[in-house]
C-alpha cells in the first residue's frame, strides 16, 4: 500500500504519527453506522452525537481517516453547492435568498466548530478570485456569469467584478482582464481538518475503526471482514468510492482531480504575486483550475484529472510527466516567474460526480439509509452542510436544513438519477473533455482566427449542455 504520508502534501505536513486506529474485530449493535471517515462521515457523526449524546454511533473506515478526497483536496472551503443555480431555480426570491444565506454561512459554521474543538487547519477566510487571466473570452464568460448570479438573487457584497487594477491589489497575474471576487470562501489545510475532526468525534464518544472496509451492506446490516454490525441507521459516506458499496456506484461516478505543490516560495515572490489573505483563486477556463497559497508559502495548484472506463478508481497517483507539465503550464501562464520553480509534491484523488451534477442529501426512512454526496469537486464546505442535514434527518427534525431542494426526504436510493452504462459514460466523458481541451488550446493561442475561437467555444458550450 502507498505510504500514507505520500497521499498528498497535506498528509506529508502532518506532525502526528500516521498509524491506523484498531480495526473492528467484534460484532456491534448500533443506532447509526457510518461508513467512511472523510468529512461527510465525520461531520455527520459530529452533529448527531452533539445533539443526541445517547446515540450509539460508530465509524468504519477502509483505510485511515482522511485517506479519500478529504485528505487530498485543494483546500477551498466554499459557501456554495455545485449547481445551486439549477437547484434553487424553482424557489421564490425569498426562499432562494434564505438558501443562499444558508450556503454562504458554511465557512463561518466550520470556523465556529474549529474554534470550539481547538482544530487548527490554517483556516483563512480570504475569499475567492475567479480570474479572467489567460484569454479575453474569459472576461466575457465571467461577466455573463456574474449577471446570472445577480439574476439568481446574489448581491454585490456576495460577488463583485474587479477590474485589472482592483484585482492587482489582491493577486497579480501576467495577463489580467478582470475577476469576480466573492468573500464567502476560506482556504484550509485539508488533512488537518479531517484528522482534527476525527479526534473531535472520538472525544465525543464515537469510535472510529480503521482498516475496516464495509464489504457488504443491506438495510440494517453491514459486514466487514471480521465483524457484523446491526444498525437502525446506516450512512454510507464514501463519495468517490461509491462503487465499493453497490448499487451506490450507479449514482455516483468516480472522477479524478490532480494537484501539484511548489517548494515554499520566498516572500519576495509573494510580494510579486499577492494572495496575502489566503485567497483561493482560479483562472476561469474549463480546465477547472484551483489554487491557493499554503500557510507555508507554497503555490498549490490543481486541475481536472480524468475518468476511467467502467468507473475504475485510480489508485496510483504518481502523476505522469505530462500531467505535471500541464499543471505547470497552466500556473506559469498566470505566474511566468514560476515557470521553472521546483515542484515538490504531486498527487490526486477520486471524487464523486452525481448524474446531472446534482448534489443530494437523501433519507430513506423505510430502509434506514441516509446519505449525502455528489458534491462534484466542491465538497469541502458542502460536506459540512451534508453532515448537519443528515443529522437533522436522522433525528427527524424539520428545519431550514431539511427544507432545501437538494434534500430528498423519505425517498429510496433508486430515486437518484443513474448514469448510463458503459461505453456511453466513457465515450461521453471523453468527447466532452476533448471539446474543452480543444477550446482551451484554441483560445490560448493568440493567433487563432476569431471564427475558430467562436467555433471552439460553441462546440464546448454544446458539449457542456450534455452534462446537465
Which residues lie near ligand FAD (CB under 6 A)? Answer: 35-41, 60-63, 67-70, 72-76, 78, 213-214, 237-241, 244-245, 257, 259, 290, 302, 348-351, 373, 375, 377-381, 383
Q: Which of 270, 407, 289 is nearest to 338 (CA)?
A: 270
Minimum CB distance to ligand FAD, residue 319 (Å): 11
Least Cβ distance, residue 46 to ligand FAD (angstroms): 12
Q: Of 162 and 245, which CB lies nearer to ligand FAD in the complex structure?
A: 245
Min CB(457)–ligand FAD separation in Å? 26
Q: 194: which residues sit within 8 A by CB, 6+ positions away?
A: 37, 38, 39, 42, 65, 66, 70, 71
Joined grid coordinates for residue 166: 482592483
Whole-number minimum distance, CB 39 to ligand FAD, in Å?
Answer: 4
Q: Please state the closest distance from residue 288 (CB atom) to ligand FAD, in A.
A: 10
- Nearest CA to 406 out of 170, 102, 134, 41 is that of 102
* Of residues 133 and 191, the one with the C-beta less far from ligand FAD: 191
- How near is the Cβ of 403 to ligand FAD at its closest, in Å? 22
C-alpha cell at 435: 471539446
- Rounded to the nearest 10 degrees, how much is the dihedral formed by the CA atoms of 370, 375, 378, 384? -10
Q: Sign of torsion, CA 259 263 265 269?
A: negative
Q: Which is nearer to ligand FAD, 8 or 435 (CB)?
A: 8
User: Considering the complex, what minimum distance in angstroms separates the CB of residue 379 from ligand FAD?
Assistant: 2
> Closer CB to ligand FAD, residue 351 or residue 401?
351
Nearer to ligand FAD among residue 383 and residue 457 (C-beta): 383
- Closest contact distance (angstroms) between CB of 313 and ligand FAD is 9
Q: Residue 354 burial (CB < 10 Å; 0-12/13-18/19+)? A: buried
Comparison of 159 and 290: residue with beta carbon closer to ligand FAD: 290
Q: Please identify the residue of the shown chain whose CB is closest to the bound ligand FAD.
A: 379
C-alpha R_g of the chain: 22
Q: From the CB of 290, what's the least distance to ligand FAD, in Å?
A: 5
Q: Count of CB atoms within 10 A of residue 157's CB?
A: 9
Q: Which is nearer to ligand FAD, 61 or 158 (CB)?
A: 61
375 vs 406 by CB, closer to ligand FAD: 375
Of the two residues 343 and 456, which places its CB atom closer to ligand FAD in the complex? 343
Say how many CA atoms lie within 13 Å of 103 toward its Cβ.
24
What is the closest distance, in whole angstroms, from the C-beta atom of residue 281 to ligand FAD in the complex?
A: 11
110: number of CA atoms within 13 Å, CB side? 37
For the CB of residue 393, give the shortest distance to ligand FAD in the complex, in Å: 16
Q: Which is nearer to ligand FAD, 79 or 153 (CB)?
A: 79
| Nearer to ligand FAD among residue 38 and residue 153 (C-beta) | 38
Amino acid at each position: 500500500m502507498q505510504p500514507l504520508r505520500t497521499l498528498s502534501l497535506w498528509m506529508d505536513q502532518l506532525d502526528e504519527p500516521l498509524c491506523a486506529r484498531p480495526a473492528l474485530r467484534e460484532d456491534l449493535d448500533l443506532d447509526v453506522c457510518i461508513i467512511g471517515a472523510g468529512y461527510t462521515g465525520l461531520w455527520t457523526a459530529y452533529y448527531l452525537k452533539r445533539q443526541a449524546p445517547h446515540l450509539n454511533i460508530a465509524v468504519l473506515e477502509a483505510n485511515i481517516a482522511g485517506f479519500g478526497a478529504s485528505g487530498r483536496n485543494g483546500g477551498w472551503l466554499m459557501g456554495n453547492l455545485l449547481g445551486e443555480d439549477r437547484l434553487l431555480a424553482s424557489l421564490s426570491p425569498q426562499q432562494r435568498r434564505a438558501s443562499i444565506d444558508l450556503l454562504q454561512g458554511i465557512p463561518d459554521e466550520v470556523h465556529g466548530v474549529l474554534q470550539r474543538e481547538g482544530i487548527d487547519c490554517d483556516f483563512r477566510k480570504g475569499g475567492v478570485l475567479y480570474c479572467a487571466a489567460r484569454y479575453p473570452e474569459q472576461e466575457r464568460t465571467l461577466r455573463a456569469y456574474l449577471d446570472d448570479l445577480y439574476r439568481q438573487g446574489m448581491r454585490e457584497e456576495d460577488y463583485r467584478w474587479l477590474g485589472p487594477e482592483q484585482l492587482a491589489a489582491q493577486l497579480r497575474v501576467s495577463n489580467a482582464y478582470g475577476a469576480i471576487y466573492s468573500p464567502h470562501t476560506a482556504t484550509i489545510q485539508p488533512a488537518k481538518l479531517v484528522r482534527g475532526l476525527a479526534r473531535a468525534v472520538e472525544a465525543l464518544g464515537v469510535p472510529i475503526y480503521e482498516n475496516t472496509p464495509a464489504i457488504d451492506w443491506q438495510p440494517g446490516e453491514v459486514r466487514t471482514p471480521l465483524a457484523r454490525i446491526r444498525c437502525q441507521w446506516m450512512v454510507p459516506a464514501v463519495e468517490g468510492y461509491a462503487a465499493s458499496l453497490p448499487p451506490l456506484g450507479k449514482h455516483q461516478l468516480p472522477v479524478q482531480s490532480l494537484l501539484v505543490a511548489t517548494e515554499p516560495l520566498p516572500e519576495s515572490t509573494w510580494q510579486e504575486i499577492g494572495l496575502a489573505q489566503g485567497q483561493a483563486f482560479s483562472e476561469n477556463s474549463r480546465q477547472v483550475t484551483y489554487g491557493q497559497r499554503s500557510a507555508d508559502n507554497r503555490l498549490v495548484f490543481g486541475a481536472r484529472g480524468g475518468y476511467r472506463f467502467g468507473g475504475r478508481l485510480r489508485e496510483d497517483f504518481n502523476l505522469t510527466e505530462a500531467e505535471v507539465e500541464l499543471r505547470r503550464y497552466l500556473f506559469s501562464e498566470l505566474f511566468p516567474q514560476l515557470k521553472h520553480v521546483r515542484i515538490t509534491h504531486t498527487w490526486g484523488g477520486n471524487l464523486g460526480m452525481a448524474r446531472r451534477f446534482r448534489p443530494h442529501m437523501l433519507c430513506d426512512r423505510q430502509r434506514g439509509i441516509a446519505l449525502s454526496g455528489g458534491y462534484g469537486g466542491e465538497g469541502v464546505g458542502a460536506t459540512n452542510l451534508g453532515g448537519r442535514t443528515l443529522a437533522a434527518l436522522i433525528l427527524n427534525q424539520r428545519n431550514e436544513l431539511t427544507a432545501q431542494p437538494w434534500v430528498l426526504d423519505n425517498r429510496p436510493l433508486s430515486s437518484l438519477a443513474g448514469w448510463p452504462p458503459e461505453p456511453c459514460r466513457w465515450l461521453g466523458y471523453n468527447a466532452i473533455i476533448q471539446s474543452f481541451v480543444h477550446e482551451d488550446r484554441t483560445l490560448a493561442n493568440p493567433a487563432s482566427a476569431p471564427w475558430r475561437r467562436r467555433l471552439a467555444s460553441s462546440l464546448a458550450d454544446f458539449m457542456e449542455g450534455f452534462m446537465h
